[in-house]
A and B are shown apart, each in its own frame.
Chain A
Amino acid sequence: MTVTKITVDPLTRVEGHLKFETRIENGVVVSARTSGMLFRGIEKALIGYDPRTALQLTQRVCGVCPYAHAEAAALALEDAMGIRPNPNGQLLRNLIVGAYQVQDCLFHFYQLSALDFIDVTAVLEYRGADPGLTTMRDWVRNEVRSQRIFPAAPFLPRYKADFLKDKECNLSVVHNYLESFTVMASLHKMVTLFGGKSPHPVAIEAGGVTTRPIIGNLAQYRTLLNQVERFVHSCYREDILAVCRAFPAYFKEGRGYGNFLSFPYFPDASGNNHFFAGGATIEGKHTPLDLNAITEDHTYSYYKNKPGSGIKPLGVNRLEPLDWQEFQREEQRPGGKYSWSRAPRYRGKVMETGAAARVVNTYHSGRNPALNQLVDRLNRDLGISLKGYNSVMGRHLSRYITVSLLLSRLKEQVEQVQPGVLGFSDKNVPRGVRGIGITEASRGALGHWVEIDKQGLIKNYEMVMPTTWNMGPRDSTGQPGAVEKMLIGTRIVDPANPMELARIVRSADPCVACSVH
C-alpha cells in the first residue's frame, strides 16, 4: 500500500488564506483537514461599539459578499428594534443584495473556478478577429516564447490536468472570462446606485435604505440589468452547460454528507414570502428551519478555551486565541488543533450551505414553481437527478440557477419601487435586547446574532458564516467538516497535480475571511 500526503497551502482563487491536507492511500483520499489561516477577531472587537456600526463593520469581514453581512446585520438590529422597512426600503435592499449576489456568482465561476476546467492556451489556436482574444493570443505566444522567469503569469504556471478539449468551448469561456469583468463592473454599478458604493455598500441601515429612489437611478438600474441579463442568458448559461457536459464525472465527485442548510432569502416588498426557502434537508428529508438547533464547536480550533461543543450563538463572550508558542505546539502535535475556523452543527450534524443547499431546499419546499421547473428542465437536459446536486458540478449549476431566477425577480421588483418615496424610517437604538438576522450570502446561510446592553452598545455579537459551515474542522465527536467529507474518497491521478482536490474545494466557494472573521 502506498501512502502519501498532499498539502495545498495556499489554495488560490478563493477568498483568503486557505490550506488543506489530505492523506492518500492507494491513490484515494482517506482523510482530509481543511484550515482557515486568517484570524482578525472582528466579531468580539465589536463589543462596546454602537450597534449600527456592525452594519458597516461586519461588511468588512468580507469584501466579496459584504452585502449579505449588511443585510443580516440590518435584520438583526431591526429584529431588536421591532421594526421593518417600508416596501420601498425592502425593495431597494433587494435590488442591492440581488445584484451583488449575481456579481458574486459570476466572479466565482469565471475568475475563481473556470481556470480549473478550461485550457487558456487554447487561445494560441485562435484564428478569428475578436480584439480580446487576439490580444490574449499574441500575448500568450510572446510570453511562452520569451525567456522570462514567469511567462504568462498569472495564468501560468498551473496544475497539469484534464482540461476541456473542445476548442470552441475553451475560446468561448476565455472570451467570456474577459467579458465578465465589464459585466461585474456593471453589477457593482447597480449596487452603487442605491448602496452608495461597492464593495461595502453604505446605504443599507436598520430601517431600510438611505438612498432616495428617483426615476433616474431606477432607469439606470434597469438599463444595466438588461446588459447583465444578455450575458447571463447567453454566455454564462452556455458556458456552465458546456462545462457540465464536458465533465459529467464531476456530478459524482466532491460528494458530501448530503445534508443541506439554507435560510430564507429574497423576500417580496412586505419582507415575507421569500423566493428561496429556508430549511434543513437531512438524509433526503426536508424539515422547516429551527434556529435553536444551531451550535458551535471549537475542539479543533486555535483557541485556548477548553474543548467546547454544543455552544449556542452568543453563548461565549470571547474565545481566547492561542499565542505563538501554543500555536506551534498544536501544529506539531498529532491530532492537534488545525484551524481558526469553528465547527457549526445543526442538531449535531454537519451541514453543507451554499447554492446547492438553497436550490435543494427550495425544490423540496415546493414554494417556488419557477425554480422547480428550471431544475427539472436542467436535470432532463443533463441527465441528472436532484442527488447530483451534492457534487462539484451540482454546486456550479446551482449558482447558475440562483442567478437566472434572481434576474427575473430583480426585473419585477425594480418596477415595484415607488419613485420619490424614501425607503427608510429611523428609530433609536434599543437597550437591553437581542436580535437575530438571517439571510443567504452567495456562499450560503448567514446568521448574525446581536445583544445590546443597557447603554445601547453591543454587549455581544456572533456571526455564523456559510464558509464556517462548509470549511469548519472536525468536532468533539470526530465528524469531519463538510468539505473534508467531500474530499474523502476522491481518486487522485497525480499527487503532484491534485487538480481533483482543488476543484472540489473551490466548488464550495470558500471565503476564509468570512469563515473566521
Chain B
Amino acid sequence: MYQVVIAAGAAPLLSFDELLAADANPAGTGWSRPNLVWLQGASCSGCSTSFLNIEQITILDFLTYFTRLIYHPNLSSATGNQVPQILHKLAASNKPYIMVMEGAIPVKMPHACMMADRPISEWVSLLAAKASVCIAAGTCAASGGVAKMAGTLTGAESLDDFLKQRGIKTPSVNLPACPMHPEHMVYTLLHFIKSKSLPELDGARRPRQFFSHSVHDRCPRYAAFQARDFARCIGEEGCLLELGCQGPVTYNDCIAIGYSGNTNNCVRAGHPCIGCAGELFPRPLLYHSHDDPRPVTGVILKKS
C-alpha cells in the first residue's frame, strides 16, 4: 500500500521496517549507491561514534551496499594531501552526492577550525553548494549546540544558518540530539536513496517522523506529572520536572526508540532530560537539587 502512496508523490510516514523492506525503485532494477561525504566542523566525533551503533543495517552494508562513503574523517584510509584532492575532485565531478555535516561552523573565527590549510567554512561552502542534499548530524550542526553555547567566541553557526548566509540553496535536513540517533541518520539516508525524496520535514527542517512529540509527551513518568507527583530527589518515582527536566521543551523520540537499540534512555536512567535535542541546548542550568532557589529567582541568565 505504501508504495502506491510513494508513487502518488505524497509524503507517507514510513516506519523504519517498511522503509528497509521497500523496493528501491519498483519500476527499475535497484538503485545506484549515492556518493556520501562526511565533514566534521566544530564537533567531537560523537555523532560519528553514535552512528556506528546502528543495528538495523550493518556498517558493512552501509559501506558496500547502500552508499559510497567517499570520505569520512575517522574511517578513511586517505590522509594528508589525498584528502583535499578527493574533496576537490568530488566537487568538480558533477556527480551527485550527499553531504553530512557533523559539528557547527565557526564563522566569526574561521581559523578556529582548519583543514588542509583552509577554514572548514570554505570546505562546507564548496561541497554544500554542489550536494544533492545536506544532512546536519547532531545538535551542533542543527542548531549550534555546545560549539555555540553562551560564552564561546568563535561565532559558531548551524549548517542551515551558514547555508542561508552564503546563499546556498541545497535542501537540508536537521537531525538534532547530542549525540545524533543513528536510526535518524540511516532512516533519512534510506528514504532519500529509496524514494528519491526527503522524509516529511517540520518548520525546523527535522523529519516529522522523529521530532513531532516532546520528550514529556511520551515520558514513562507522565502519569506522575498528571497526578502532580514530583520527585524531590534522584531515585524517587515521581516526575522529574522540579529537578530541572527539559522534557516539555525538547522534541525528540528518544523515549520511544531509546539509545543503543533501545537499551535505555535518560529518563529511564533516573536522570532528568537535559534537552540535548533542543535548539537552546545547552541551557545554563540542567539537573539541580529540588530546593535550589536559582531556577525560580532567575540567577542563571547567562548571555554570550
Nearest neighbor of B85 in chain A, beta-carbon distance: A157
Contact B156 A40 (CB under 8 A): yes
Contact with B along A300-331 (1 / 0, CB 8 A): 00100000000000000000011110011000
A513–B103 alpha-carbon span in the complex (Å) = 11
Contact of B147 among A16, A40, A192, A340 (CB under 8 A): A40
- Most chain A CB neighbours (cut-off 10 Å) among B49, B52, B81, B265: B49
Does A195 sit at the interface, judged by CB under 8 A?
Answer: yes
Query: What interface size band does chain B fall in?
Result: 35 or more
Instruction: Name the distance in Å between A40's Cβ and chain B's nearest Cβ.
Output: 5
Residues of A within 8 A of B78 (CB): 12, 153-154, 156-158
Considering only residues 190-244 of chain A, those with a C-beta below 8 Å from chain B are: 191-200, 202-203, 205, 207, 210-212, 217, 220
Does A45 sit at the interface, judged by CB under 8 A?
Answer: yes
Instruction: Name the distance in Å between A39's Cβ and chain B's nearest Cβ.
Output: 4
A7–B117 alpha-carbon span in the complex (Å) = 10
Considering only residues 408-425 of chain A, those with a C-beta below 8 Å from chain B are: 422, 424
B13-21, B190-198, B285-293 - interface stretch = B285-293
Does B28 sit at the interface, judged by CB under 8 A?
Answer: no
Nearest neighbor of A499 in chain B, beta-carbon distance: B79
A199–B52 alpha-carbon span in the complex (Å) = 11
Does A378 sit at the interface, judged by CB under 8 A?
Answer: no
Contact with B along A125-161 (1 / 0, CB 8 A): 0000000100110010000000011100111111100
Considering only residues 109-162 of chain B, those with a C-beta below 8 Å from chain A are: 109-117, 120, 145-147, 149-154, 156
Contact A196 B271 (CB under 8 A): yes
Given A39-B109, A189-B260, A424-B234, residue A205 in contact with residue B287 (CB < 8 A): yes
Main secondary structure of the interface of B (DSSP, over half): loop
Residues of B within 8 A of A212 (CB): 235, 270
Contact A64 B269 (CB under 8 A): no
Considering only residues 262-278 of chain B, those with a C-beta below 8 Å from chain A are: 263-266, 268-271, 274, 276
Does A178 sit at the interface, judged by CB under 8 A?
Answer: yes
Does A56 sit at the interface, judged by CB under 8 A?
Answer: yes
Contact A13 B263 (CB under 8 A): no
Considering only residues 21-69 of chain A, those with a C-beta below 8 Å from chain B are: 37-42, 44-50, 52-53, 56-57, 60-64, 66
A16–B269 alpha-carbon span in the complex (Å) = 30
Contact A192 B263 (CB under 8 A): yes
Contact A205 B234 (CB under 8 A): yes
A107-115, A381-389, A438-446, A472-480 - interface stretch = A107-115
Contact B50 A63 (CB under 8 A): yes
A-B contact pairs, 11 of them (CB 8 A): A12-B76, A12-B83, A53-B284, A56-B286, A60-B146, A178-B60, A185-B261, A191-B260, A220-B263, A426-B233, A426-B234
